[in-house]
Amino acid sequence: MDTDRLHEILAAHAGCKGALLPILHDIQHAFGCIDAVAEAAVAKVLNLSRAEVHGVVSFYHDFTPEADPRPCIELCRAEACQARGVEALVPAATAAAGERVRIKPVYCLGLCSVGPVARHGELLHARLDEAALVKLVQTA
Ligand code: FES
């Protein structure tokens, strides 16, 4: 982990109330993970225990202890997308992904009326059928 970059992130939030989650999101975005070194640095800056920081990191699925360099497709598995058939798409998406692409379940991407929905990077893909989702996975 680039400690200079880590300290830049911490300094950017200095003095801000409720800075824990914004700091953790920035670290996750910058490094693709929040490791023990980062947890310790965050704890020190915010005057928290490492256990408190680790508790937050381990609670939220968006935070990961190790970077995963694979492309990631976030596939909504929440109720509205379930009602619109997402579960029937999962086996084909998983087969297309193999070990090359990570299919990450998420729980609502905010486009419930046009599900099933997936996100790749900053782009949302709605009204997915099996062919569209497999193509999205294959081109990720
Ligand atoms: S339930 Fe899937 S986008 Fe909201």
pLDDT tens across 14-37, in order?
A: 889 999 999 999 999 999 999 999
Ligand 1 centroid distance, CA of 30 (Å):
27
What is the reported pTM? 0.77
Question: Which atom of ligand 1 is found nearest the CA of 80?
Answer: 1
pLDDT tens across 92-104, in order?
A: 999 999 999 999 9
Pocket of ligand 1 (CB under 6 A): 76, 78-81, 108-112, 115, 117
Q: Across all residues in the chain, what is the average pLDDT? A: 95
CA dihedral sign of residues 69, 60, 93, 116: negative
pLDDT tens across 41-52, in order?
A: 999 999 999 999
State yes or no: pLDDT of 55 exceeds 80.
Answer: yes
Q: Which two tokens stand for residue 129?
A: 């059928």
- Residue of 111, 124, 128 with the most ligand 1 atoms within 8 Å of its CB, for mutation: 111
All domains in the chain, ordered by first residue: 3-59 (no CATH), 72-139 (3.40.30.10)
Ligand 1 centroid distance, CA of 116 (Å):
7
Instruction: Give the separation between CA 34 and CA 89, rounded to whole angstroms.
Output: 31
Task: Compute the half-sphere exposure of residue 96: CA atoms within 13 Å on the CB side of its CA.
Answer: 20
CB of 28 closer than 8 Å to CB of 63:
yes
Model pLDDT, residue 15:
87
